[in-house]
Amino acid sequence: MFDKLRSYFQTDEELPPEQEERIKKLEGIIGNSIDNPFIYIRALRHRSTLADEKYSSIDSYERLEFLGDAVLDLIVTEIIFDLFPNENEGFLTKLRAKLVKGDTLAMYAEKLKLNNLMLLGKRVRGQGIEESKSVLSDLFEALVGALYLDLGYEPTSKFVRKVIEQYVDFDQIVNTLDNYKSLLLEFAQAEQMKIPTYTVVSEEGPGHDKTFGVEVYVDEKPIAQGEGKSKKEAEQEAARKALKMLK
C-alpha cells in the first residue's frame, strides 16, 4: 500500500530550476535529503494555483494535508504517551488537542518559514494568504504527509519530534489545560477580541461559607456567569461557560 501511494507521485519530468532552490531550502528545514521533490512541490501548492496551470482539482496540497493530519496525530500521540507515563487518557487527549490545533500548527509553519516557500496563484498574490493561520496549518500537515510518503514513518517522526522539542513549552501548556481563564484569554486573543474581564455580581451566605457570582465580559460584552466558593472558582466557572458558548 505504501509503495502504491509513493508511485502515484513518480514522474520522469525534470524539476524546473526555480523549484530546485525551493527544494534545497526545504531540505534545510527538514534536515534530510529529499528523494522525490515532486511530492513536496505538491505539498507547497495552494489551490489558487490550479487556475493558472493545467492542474486537476487534486493537484494542490489538500490530499497531502489529509494524510499528514492522520500521521501527525499518531506521532504526537506517541510523543506525549512517552513523556507523560503517569497521566490518564483524558489528560493525554486534551494535551494532544493543544499540540495539533490549527493555531499551534500555524506557529510551527511560521517558525519554519514555510510561508516563504508556498506556491500561490497569480490572482491571490499579495493578499496575505500565506499569513493565514488556517492556510499555514494546512501547509504544515501537507509537509508531514509529503515526508511520510517520500521517506517513511521514522524520518517523519524524527522531524515532528524536533519541531515540537524546539517550539513547544510543555510546562506552559500543561498549566493551561484546565485553566479556563487562560483558555478564554487565548481564544479572545486568537479571535482579536478585547481581553476578558470579570465582575463580581453577587455574594451570598455567611462570611465563612460564601458563594460568589461572577460575570465574564468578552470584547466588552457580558457572555456568561459562574458561581463558586471563592472568586477565583467563580471566575473559572464563568470562563468555562463562556468558552462553551463562544466556540
Catalytic residue chosen out of the listed positions 141, 150, 215, 235: 141
Q: Is 186 assigned a catalytic role?
A: no
Indicate the annotated binding residues for Mg(2+): 65, 138, 141
The whole-angstrom separation of Cα 20 and Cα 39 is 13
The conformation of residue 32, written as its DSSP 8-state character, comes to S
**Catalytic residue of the set 69, 150, 235, 237:** 69
Annotated binding site: 65, 138, 141
What are the start-end ranges of the H helices in 31-120? 37-43, 62-83, 89-100, 102-112
- Would residue 3 show up in a list of annotated catalytic residues for this protein? no
Per-residue DSSP letters for 169-216? -HHHHHHHSS-HHHHHHHHHHHTTPPPPEEEEEEEES-TTS-EEEEEE
Quick check: 230 and 187 in contact, CB under 8 A?
no
Which neighbouring-strand residues pair with 199?
215
Strands 211-218 and 221-228: antiparallel
Neighbours of 2 (CB within 10 A): 10
Residues labelled as active-site residues? 69, 141
